[in-house]
Amino acid sequence: MKNSLGRYVPEGFIPFQSSRAFLEQPRTREKIILSENKGNKKLSSISGAFDRLGIGADMTLSFHHHLRNGDLVMNLVFEEIKSRNLKNMTIAASSIFPNNRILSELIENGNVTNVYTNYLNGEVAKSISEGKLQGMLYMDTHGGRSRAIESGDIKIDVAFIAVPCSDEAGNGNGLSGPSACGSLGYAIPDLLYAKKKVVVTDYLVPKVEYVEIEAKYVDYVVVIDKIGNQSGIESGTTRITRDPVGLKIAETTALLLSELGLIRENFSMQTGAGGTVLAVTRFIREIMEKENVKAGFASGGITHYFTEMLKKGLINKLYDVQCFDLEAVKSLAENPNHHSISAFKYANPYEDAIVNHLDFVILGATEVDLSFNVNVTTASNGLIMGGSGGHADTASGAKVSIIVTPLFKTRLPIIRPEITTITTPGEDIDIVVTERGIAINPKRIDLLEKLKNSHLPIMSIKDLSKIALAYTGIPEVRVKKEQVIGVVRYRDQTIIDTLFQM
């Protein structure tokens, strides 16, 4: 079976139709689960939580990724699964980072046989790409995961929630303590819908002032020495690139936004992290300062570039689902206009989500095809090295979605006739900006009309692809192996693409 984009869909799955098809289906929600534990919730070890909750084979355990590459909680739970040799477990983690490499051992031993996640790289990604996961990998979006959990598509037996600051009852937040990581927005679906919830903290306080994690949902509070390495929160690129190609793309993007009239009073934006994307933020800021324009809000993963703009009054509000650096954590704790939001509020397709109020979003790409479909999940050899995160969510919600990418990286063309994996459908991508030209999705006649007298190098995506191929030659099309290792799910659970063994 194939979906509307011509991609293979395994038996038993629903093929992707379009980014708006889900609106014809009603929202379904399971009952929110409150804790029944009215007694002492405090435990002193992860192992104790396993005993108390009877965690055994075939169960689904979930995690958030706010401690990013500094997370220790996931690894402690994996160690416990390993020592008990539990089999056929399912892991539902909002993201999996290189420091979670122990999971690949569990996968190879058959302890973990199914994985749900929104982003995956490092050793675990390699193991799964090589076909070592006995069951399936389900790659969701951040908004899609919140929908999958509330609808019961992902049924979580126990959620282990790393909470940097908690009281004994389980009220907590991510704002203080030695492992402060800021917003805990991605943990909220797990907190509401998992059958049992275990808060894991290394900073127990008598009273929590700002409550993001509410005790009424929490069954146990495990106090351990250390839940994370704070420096690992700043994984990923949180510095503006000095790469001249990246800067050229960023500058062009800011000029384009200006010509489109998108940098106007009270506008809203999401630009995320990554060297080039951050450089776009810098150039947007220059225009804002020059033209004395203020943004209504910025959202998504928040870096110190946004918090500085908030402090200087260039942005009125920040809606933060994840802090990308420690300055953002500090700002969230101190600035009343810096708000933490849940994954539901950020990007759930059935909510009046923040992504639906964005004037524009700036996104990256690993590959883009001539129909503007984008891959951010796999490298061109099929190795999993990322995932949607909020890519498909923001592309769908924002009024203008812009991909910024070099035309080629080393010898590989990024814009090409055939891409390895589709993560975000081309119908939701409006503009691709490269160092040598800008392609506008032909269905956006309004944007083309606004840019008809522009001096910017606007051309068709076919012409951009031709330029890329003139440098790189036509890449050999990878012959996919037969073994399906997983699926890429659109926000609504339909299958936008299938992942094959590398």
Nearer to another protein (CB atom), residue 39 or residue 244: 244
| The two three-digit tokens of residue 391, written as one number | 């890519």
Determine the Cα–Cα distance for residues 373 and 7; give it in Å rounded to an integer: 12
**Residues 438, 372 contacting (CB under 8 angstroms):** no
CA distance 330 to 258: 31
Task: Enter the tokens of residue 46.
Answer: 């992860």
Report in angstroms how near the CB of residue 325 gets to another protein at its nearest: 21
**Closest CB to another protein among residues 26, 244:** 244
Closest separation in Å from C-beta 251 to another protein? 7
Min dist CB 242 to another protein, Å, is 7
Phi-psi region of 19 (alpha: psi -120 to 50; beta: other; left: phi over 0): alpha
Tell me which stretch binds another protein (CB under 8 A): 23-31, 62-70, 218-226, 244-252.
Answer: 244-252
Query: Which parts of 250-269 interact with another protein (CB under 8 A)?
Result: 251
Tokens of 252: 């062009």
- In the complex, the smallest distance separating the C-beta of residue 244 from another protein, rounded to whole angstroms, is 3
Distance in Å, CB of 450 to another protein, minimum: 19
- 418 to 437: interface string for another protein, x by CB under 8 A: -----------------xx-
Smallest Cα–Cα separation from 147: which of 25, 253, 266? 25
If the CB atoms of residues 146 and 434 are measured against another protein, the closer one turns out to be 434
| Residue 435 beta carbon to another protein: minimum distance, rounded to whole angstroms | 5
Candidates 28, 54, 471, 477; binder of another protein (CB under 8 A) is 471
**Residue that the structure tokens 């450089």 belong to:** 279
| DSSP single-letter state for residue 480 | P
Query: Which of 224/245 has CB closer to another protein?
Result: 245
Rounded Cα distance between 341 and 249, Å, is 30
Is 285 a binding residue for another protein by CB under 8 A? The answer is no
Q: Are 412 and 364 a contacting pair, CB within 8 Å?
A: no
Q: Which segment (89-97, 242-250, 439-447, 485-493) binds another protein by CB under 8 A?
A: 242-250
For position 244 contacting another protein by CB under 8 A, the verdict is yes
Q: Round the CA-based radius of gyration of the chain to a whole number and report it.
A: 22
Least CB distance from residue 441 to another protein, whole Å? 23
Q: How far is the CB of 286 from another protein (least distance, A)?
A: 11
Report in angstroms the alpha-carbon separations of 406 from 251, 301, 353, 468, 480.
Answer: 13, 22, 31, 10, 26
H/E/C letters for each residue in 254-285? HHHHHHCCCCCCCEEEECCCCHHHHHHHHHHH
Q: How many Cα atoms sit within 13 Å of 365 on the Cβ side? A: 36
Rounded distance between C-alpha atoms, residue 10 and residue 167, angstroms = 46
CA distance 164 to 54: 25
| Closest to another protein by CB, 386 or 437 | 437
Q: Please, what sign has the CA dihedral across residues 162, 166, 171, 176? A: negative
Residue whose CB is less far from another protein, 282 or 444: 282
Residue with smaller CB distance to another protein, 211 or 467: 467
Total residues at interface with another protein (CB under 8 A)? 10
**Would you count residue 242 as binding another protein (CB under 8 A)?**
yes
Minimum Å gap between C-beta 281 and another protein is 16
Cα–Cα distance measured from residue 446 to residue 426, given in angstroms and rounded to the nearest whole number: 17
Give the range of 145-153, 160-168, 241-249, 384-392 binding another protein by CB under 8 A.
Answer: 241-249
Q: Interacting stretch for another protein, rule CB under 8 A, among 113-121, 203-211, 246-254, 476-484? A: 246-254
DSSP 141: B
**Position among 245, 287, 383, 448 found at the interface with another protein (CB under 8 A):** 245
Q: How far is the CB of 405 from another protein (least distance, A)?
A: 14
Smaller CB separation from another protein, 65 or 436? 436
Q: ∠ CA(231), CA(237), CA(238), 5° rounding?
A: 70
Please give the residues from 444 up to 463 whose contact with another protein meets the rule CB under 8 A: 455
Would you count residue 282 as binding another protein (CB under 8 A)? Answer: no
Least separation in angstroms between CB 308 and another protein: 17
Long-range contacts of 310-316 (CB under 8 A, 24+ apart): 310/335, 310/337, 310/338, 311/335, 314/285, 314/288, 314/289, 316/266
Site residues (CB under 8 A) for another protein? Answer: 242, 244-245, 247-248, 251, 435-436, 455, 471
